[in-house]
């Protein structure tokens, strides 16, 4: 049987590509090539920090660099050193920061309805309320489709309208305002820069925007008492490292075994279930009351 693999396909190991494309052209050792690549990556991010400082017209050297994501805990100190920042904050939930934030965020659905043929007049107040009820029904249906009970919902309503000048503006309003066009007219006229005496015919309703919000309960991170600075109980062994150390073999710690109040002096590797934290030489990590890590350059 003829192989399904194309005749022209050849497999080359990553190490061969690395040596051919990087190490030999640069005439350096493999370790040095890796070090140069890492330093270049640090500088690229540090340059972005410098650009932000320039735009903000602020000295960021006194600020703290927040690091999260799967790679943030390994990358932050290298960036901070090149950006002139001496404080880095790591988080116990750092590797899943975005996922955790999404899981505890309120659920929001946005809906819009054009109001081209609905004028701001008493006889149309029923039509405005009918549109709102239609949106509410759609929001309930969508939440049920997501397996969410449509209970304790909050509705935020805004009417977009235009005045004589033609410029439009979105005005937050209460549900009760839809039943009283005079109150809605006063709010729209004020926002459009007109007097409250502006007639309804001078205001053109264009859009109703409704946000259906389902609040989600928020967990609270447990605060624990500080213990001693000694972190030796969390040490598990040693490992050779090529960046962030001048010595070679450095201490390895179990992140989950560290307790509030413990300090780890770099260089050190902190192994966790879902990521790796790194404390370079001349840096110290302090575990706070919430299990997060504050890194300071000595």
- CA torsion sign for 79, 84, 86, 88 is negative
User: What is the arithmetic mean of pLDDT over 151-160?
Assistant: 88
- Better pLDDT: 173 or 13: 173
Phi-psi category of 260—alpha, beta or left, where left has phi over 0 and alpha has psi -120 to 50?
A: beta
**What is the Cα–Cα distance from 262 to 277, expressed in whole angstroms?**
15
Measuring CA to CA, how many Å separate 144 from each of 58, 135, 233, 290? 48, 14, 50, 36
Give residue 1's pLDDT band: very low, low, confident or very high (50, 70, 90): very low
pLDDT at 197 over 80: no
pLDDT, tens digit, 9 for 90 and up, residues 115-124: 876 666 655 6
Nearest to 161 by CA among 131, 202, 111: 202
- Checking if the pLDDT of 257 tops 70, the result is yes
Q: What is the mean pLDDT of residues 255-282?
A: 94
268: enclosing H helix or E strand? strand 268-271
The domain locations on the chain are 58-104+219-298, 106-214
pLDDT tens sequence across 202-246: 677 788 899 999 988 888 888 999 999 999 999 999 998 888 888
Q: In CATH, what class is 106-214? A: alpha beta
With a cut of 50, say whether residue 27 has pLDDT above it. Answer: yes
Residue 184 pLDDT > 60, yes or no? yes
* Average confidence score pLDDT of the chain: 84
Residue 80 has a pLDDT of 95
Q: Name the more confident of 247 and 139.
A: 139
Please report how the helices 72-83 and 30-56 are oriented relative to each other, as an axis angle in degrees rounded to 10. 70
Q: How far apart are CA 279 and CA 18, in angstroms?
A: 27
């Amino acid at each position: 049987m003829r192989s399904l693999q194309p005749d022209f396909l050849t497999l080359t190991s990553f190490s061969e590509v690395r040596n051919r494309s990087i190490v030999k052209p640069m005439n350096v050792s493999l370790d040095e090539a890796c070090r140069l690549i890492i330093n270049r990556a640090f500088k690229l991010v540090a340059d972005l920090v410098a650009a932000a400082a320039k735009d903000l017209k602020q000295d960021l050297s006194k600020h703290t660099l927040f690091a999260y994501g799967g790679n943030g805990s390994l990358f932050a100190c290298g960036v901070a050193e090149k950006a002139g920042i001496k404080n880095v904050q790591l988080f116990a939930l750092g590797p899943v920061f975005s996922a955790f934030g999404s899981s505890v965020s309120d659920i929001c659905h946005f809906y819009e309805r054009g109001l081209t043929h609905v004028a701001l007049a008493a006889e149309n107040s029923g039509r405005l309320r009918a549109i709102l009820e239609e949106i509410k029904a759609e929001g309930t249906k969508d939440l049920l489709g997501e397996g969410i009970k449509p209970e304790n919902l909050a509705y935020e309503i805004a009417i977009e309208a235009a005045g004589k000048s033609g410029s439009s503006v979105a005005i937050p309003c209460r549900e009760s305002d839809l039943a009283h066009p005079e109150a809605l007219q006063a709010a729209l006229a004020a926002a459009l820069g007109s007097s409250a005496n502006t007639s309804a015919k001078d205001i053109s309703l264009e859009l109703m925007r409704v946000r259906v919000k389902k609040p989600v309960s928020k967990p609270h991170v447990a605060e624990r008492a500080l213990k001693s600075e000694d972190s030796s109980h969390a040490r598990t062994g040693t490992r050779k490292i090529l960046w962030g150390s001048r010595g070679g073999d450095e201490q390895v710690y179990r992140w989950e075994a560290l307790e509030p109040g413990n300090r780890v002096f770099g260089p050190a590797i902190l192994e966790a279930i879902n990521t790796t934290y790194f404390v370079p030489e001349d840096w110290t990590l302090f575990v706070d009351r919430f299990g997060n890590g504050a890194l300071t350059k000595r």
